[in-house]
Structure 1
Amino acid sequence: MSQSYFIGVDIGTTSTKAIVFSETGEMKGIGNRGYPIAVPQTGWAEQDPEEIFGEMILAMRTAIKQAEVPKSAIAAIGFSGAMHSLIALDAEEQALTPAIIWADNRSLEQTKQLKQDGDGHELYLRTGTPIHTMSPLTKLLWMQEQDAERFQKTKKFISIKEYVFLKLFDRLLVDYSIASATGLFNLEQCQWDAKALNRVGIGADRLSELVPTTFVVRGMKREYADTIGIDPDTPVVVGASDGVLANLGVGAISPHQIAITIGTSAAVRAVVPKPTTDEAGRTFCYALTEDHWVIGGPSNNGGIVLRWLRDEFCQNEVTQAKQKDLDPYEVMIRAASDIPLGAEGLICLPFLSGERAPYWNPEARGVFFGVALHHRRSHFIRAVLEGILFSVYSINLALQELVGKAEAIHASGGYARSDIWLQMTADMFGYEVVVPKIFEGSGFGAAVLAMHAVGHLPKLEAVNQLIQIDDRYQPNLSHTRRYHRMFQIYDRLYRDHVQDFAFLSQLCPPEGCGL
């Protein structure tokens, strides 16, 4: 019997990756195309949906050419998409706005008001999306108030993945997963939430048709199918959001297996069998399938903080990296590995971009605490690495209250390439950390969901038969105890300075300090 191949397409914040996998989970080809984020005003974050679509087409074509598989062998294509984007379409289904992405802070005042007037928490409990500037719900409130003429002209409000399917198939479809990250979707009913729609002043007719994540579409426009190099009738699975598919892609699909992804931002997630929200409002709940719901929390501050440190303070390490043909981050992390646990008394609150879970405070600010004369640049690198992990660990504690302690951590994202950082994770959490051979979790998850949708993989739990574990990291429990003591200081520092952060934000508001 001939081999079948599946393609996972991951439309991310800064790039689209298309990856061709064999039916046994082996990666055969990859295409990766990037695109910029525009900041037309301070605090805004937008992208050109047409540019993203064009780069996605090229990424798919590159992956298929590299894989050298015939059209007839491609059994299905699955899509993953970044959450929380918003695009307004006119009556001719042309874009009236760029894609307003998750990092956009223009709705800060509307978010504050929604939290203060009492509706916010009830909306969160019904929809599973925390009240935050990332949410399309708050973006719509901003548009209703600040861009009323365009708001009234809009026929449909959609996400970037919906835009892609509109271009490919002339259909406006939104999967339950992307919908569940809008703040407009009722988790129990799997329908648009009437109270949320009433709050933003729109009807369900101004949103796309809701479909399960396993919904299959055929009949791609020939011009695009030919450019990509596929048969137009190839089954295309609408798929899900990048966060929930990252869990599937690394095999963390039970409540006691948590997935940690650290790329530009970071997230901690677990899978539960039914919708679950947090009375304290700290976690999200997003759909994967009707029997798989992903709960957890995102942090704004992952690799973006390390990048800031590299660009502003680590030119020596960048120079060394160029001389030795190494990645600058590798040089930085090696320097940090020579510094003892705790950076010899230096603690970093890495909130350079405000913070989402578990604090949901866009006014939070970064802090280095405990600075002394013996601290060198390598100490600060170590403190940043540990600070990013502290932010992730704080989300884990909230998640732990909902699902209990984890048995293992499944790591993905760019940080999964770093032995040093992964060992720090195991030590801080006190859990085993496992690293799949394929750590592009969202792309592989999209392919796996496509396998499931077309009947090739009867149960999602069988994903673990396709995953090869490259590395395992065991915790040093004496280090764990020391990290937990440091975390108490970290958390107290945040809570003791909430009002100070609010004051400082008046000097440079989150919407006025860029991304």
Structure 2
Amino acid sequence: MNETYFIGLDIGTTSTKAIVFTRSGSIKGTGNVDYPLLVPQPSWAEQEPDAIFAAVIQALRQAIAQAGAQRSEIAGIGFSTAMHSLIAVDASGNPLTNVIIWADNRSVEQTERLKRDGTGHRIYLATGTPIHPMSPLTKLIWMREKDPDTFRRAAKFLSIKEYVIYRLFGQFVVDYSIASATGLFNLKRLDWDEEALRVAGISAQQLSEPVPTTHVLRGLDKRYADEIGIDPDTPFVVGASDGVLANLGVGAIEPGQVAITIGTSGAVRTVVPEPITDQKGRTFCYVLTDKHWVIGGPTNNGGLMLRWFRDEFSWPEVEKAKELGVDPYDVMIQAAQDVPAGAEGLLFLPFLSGERAPYWNPQARGSFFGIGLHHKRQHFIRAVLEGILFSVYSVGIALRDLAGGAREIRASGGFARSREWRQIMADMFGYEVLIPETHESSSLGAAVLAMHAVGAIRDLSEVNGLLRIAHRHEPDLERSGTYLELFYIYERVYLNLLEEYKLIADFQQRSRTSQHTR
């Protein structure tokens, strides 16, 4: 009997990745295709939708070819995608705009207005999506006000996943998970929210039909089936967002299990049995299934901060790494190990690109606080490592308030390659940190959801039979106490600089705009 394979297709911010898994979770083939980020104006972030569609076809073709899989052996393909994207299309499904992605901040003015009048908080409590420029809700208001011609011409407003599905199947459908990240979807009714639609100025007919994350699509356009190398009747499972699927992919789907991902940015998430929103507005609530709701929060400033410090200030470590033939990050992190926990009183607030959870403040800016003559470059490296984790820890505090304490943390992302950085996380959170062997958590989650949708597994908890824990880290309680003391100062610094953040962000915006128009 031939082996059957499941593919997790992850449409990310910088690339699309397709991974072929066996039923037991082994990786048999991968495909990865990059595409550029477009910044046509300061604070804008866009991508070209047809470039992403082409990457989907190419990545699937690469992965299947590398796996040596026959058409009949592909038992299911599951979609994972980044959240909060928006494309306006005409009546024929042709794009009128580029993909406006989660990192786009053009709708700051509209966001602040929604927050001031109380409407935003009501919509957040109903939809689970915080009021922030990342949200398609605020992007739609911006488009209506600032690009009214495109807004009037648009027949529908889609995410990148919906656009890809329309190209492949000719259907306008959106899974509950991606819908729940739009700010337009009512969590209790699992349908478009009337007040949010009114505020956005659109109708439900201009959005796709919401379907469960396990919804199966068949009847792939034969042209694309032949190009990919699969049967047109291969089941595609509409899937979910990359965030909630990352929880599934690391096996953190029971109460008390917290998933933390730190790549370019970061996120903290836990699963609860029913939708929960936060009266303080700190966290999101997104759908995985009708029995699994993911609450948590994303941070803007993850490993990107360490790369920034490497590029701008850490040239001695970079030169040493060249001499030794090793990764510069390894040298930097090793240098930080010569500094005690807390960097001898040096704090880094890593808000170089504003911040999402738990503050949802696009105007926040980064700072080093507490600099003394005794601080050397290695102190700054240590402070950057700790500051990134402080931003993640602040989201963990909000989750503890809503869902109770954690019993374990499952961590993934680029940071997880560093033993020292993983230990800092365990010390700061005060819980055991487990590192699953696979780094492809969203892709694995998409494949597992596909397995469940087509009946290859009975329950999502079976994912734990596909995982192996590669590393475990127990916290050092003395260092935990140090971090608790410093986090109190970290939060006070943030709260005491709120007005100054607004002033400096406005100055920076005017400066960038002036430079851009010269």
TM-score band, normalised by shorter chain: over 0.9
Cα deviation per residue 1:110-155 (whole Å; 9 max; x = unaligned)? 0000001110110000000000000000000000100011100000
Cα deviation per residue 1:226-280 (whole Å; 9 max; x = unaligned)? 2222222111000000000000000000120000000111000000111110011
Aligned position for 1:40: 40
SS at match of 2:134: coil
Alignment of 1:14-163 (within 5 A): 14-163=14-163
C-alpha displacement of 1:512: 4.7
Aligned position for 1:369: 369
SS at match of 1:69: coil
Which deviates further from its counterpart, 372-381 or 121-130? 372-381
CA–CA distance in 2 between the matches of 1:321 and 1:175? Answer: 45
CA–CA distance in 1 between the matches of 2:426 and 2:167? Answer: 44
TM-score norm. by structure 1 comes to 0.98
Cα deviation per residue 1:308-343 (whole Å; 9 max; x = unaligned)? 112111223233333433222222222222221111
CA–CA distance in 2 between the matches of 1:391 and 1:207? Answer: 34
Contact kept, 8 Å, 1:363 with 1:510, in 2: the verdict is no
C-alpha displacement of 1:511: 11
Gaps of 5+ in 1: none
CA–CA distance in 2 between the matches of 1:212 and 1:498? Answer: 40
Cα deviation per residue 1:478-504 (whole Å; 9 max; x = unaligned)? 111111111111111111111111111
Which deviates further from its counterpart, 100-109 or 217-226? 217-226
Alignment of 1:471-482 (within 5 A): 471-482=471-482
Cα deviation per residue 1:266-302 (whole Å; 9 max; x = unaligned)? 0000001111100111000000011110000010110
Aligned position for 1:169: 169
Aligned position for 2:322: 322
CA–CA distance in 2 between the matches of 1:279 and 1:17? Answer: 37
CA–CA distance in 1 between the matches of 2:320 and 2:98? Answer: 40
SS at match of 1:84: coil
CA–CA distance in 2 between the matches of 1:480 and 1:168? Answer: 51
C-alpha displacement of 1:86: 0.3
SS at match of 1:364: coil
CA–CA distance in 2 between the matches of 1:18 and 1:327? Answer: 26
Contact kept, 8 Å, 1:38 with 1:46, in 2: the verdict is yes
Which deviates further from its counterpart, 147-156 or 51-60? 51-60
Aligned position for 1:267: 267
CA–CA distance in 2 between the matches of 1:144 and 1:320? Answer: 53
Alignment of 1:361-510 (within 5 A): 361-509=361-509
CA spacing shift, 1:198–1:512, aligned 2, 3 Å: farther
CA–CA distance in 2 between the matches of 1:454 and 1:510? Answer: 53
CA–CA distance in 1 between the matches of 2:448 and 2:324? Answer: 38
SS at match of 1:401: helix
CA–CA distance in 2 between the matches of 1:420 and 1:269? Answer: 22
Aligned position for 1:215: 215
Contact kept, 8 Å, 1:105 with 1:510, in 2: the verdict is no
CA–CA distance in 1 between the matches of 2:107 and 2:125? Answer: 21
SS at match of 1:406: coil
Aligned position for 2:237: 237
Aligned position for 1:180: 180
Contact kept, 8 Å, 1:30 with 1:64, in 2: the verdict is yes
C-alpha displacement of 1:156: 0.5
After TM superposition, the runs of 4+ consecutive aligned structure 1 residues lying more than 6 A away are none
Aligned position for 1:6: 6
Aligned position for 2:251: 251
**Matched letter for residue 390 of structure 1:** F
Cα deviation per residue 1:161-183 (whole Å; 9 max; x = unaligned)? 11111111111111000000000
Cα deviation per residue 1:368-401 (whole Å; 9 max; x = unaligned)? 0111223222211110110000000000000001
**Matched letter for residue 99 of structure 2:** A
CA–CA distance in 1 between the matches of 2:320 and 2:72? Answer: 48
Alignment RMSD (CA, Å): 1.4
Gaps of 5+ in 2: none
**Matched letter for residue 488 of structure 2:** Q
Contact kept, 8 Å, 1:102 with 1:135, in 2: the verdict is yes
CA spacing shift, 1:510–1:347, aligned 2, 3 Å: farther
TM-score norm. by structure 2 comes to 0.97
SS at match of 1:341: coil
Contact kept, 8 Å, 1:43 with 1:512, in 2: the verdict is no
SS at match of 1:372: coil
The answer to whether structure 1 residue 285 and structure 2 residue 285 are counterparts is: yes
Cα deviation per residue 1:446-481 (whole Å; 9 max; x = unaligned)? 000000000111111121111111111111111111
CA–CA distance in 2 between the matches of 1:68 and 1:337? Answer: 45
Number of residues of Structure 1 aligned to a counterpart in Structure 2: 514
SS at match of 1:338: coil
Give % identity: 62
Contact kept, 8 Å, 1:140 with 1:200, in 2: the verdict is yes
Contact kept, 8 Å, 1:42 with 1:511, in 2: the verdict is no
CA–CA distance in 1 between the matches of 2:463 and 2:89? Answer: 37
CA–CA distance in 1 between the matches of 2:42 and 2:156? Answer: 26
SS at match of 2:77: strand
